[in-house]
């Protein structure tokens, strides 16, 4: 992750990110009902409870419209 990402005290979060050659960049719109962030994202970062620090490696989930998959 390029930036710190806040976490939930008890739950894992999926945070929309843009992927660069070196980092996953969290998008500004990452609340639980923010579809705007997901629509603009390349992937979702799996953020553990209590968040993640800049430079930390996280699991990244590709989104089907970016990965060329079908989701009908």
R_g (Cα) of the chain, nearest Å: 12
**What is the pTM assigned to this prediction?**
0.83
> Tens of pLDDT along 17-68?
999 988 999 998 767 777 888 888 999 999 999 999 999 999 999 998 776 6
How far is it, in rounded angstroms, from Cα 10 to Cα 61? 21
Collapsing DSSP states into helix, strand and coil, what is residue 14?
strand
Cβ(56)–Cβ(4) below 8 Å = no
> Tens of pLDDT along 34-47?
788 888 899 999 99
């Amino acid at each position: 992750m390029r930036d710190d990402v806040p976490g939930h005290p008890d739950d894992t979060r999926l945070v929309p990110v843009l992927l660069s050659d070196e980092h996953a960049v969290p998008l500004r719109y990452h609340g639980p009902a923010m579809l705007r962030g997901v629509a603009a994202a390349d992937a979702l970062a799996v953020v553990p409870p209590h968040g993640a620090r800049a430079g930390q490696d996280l699991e990244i989930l590709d989104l089907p419209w970016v990965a060329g998959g079908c989701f009908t």
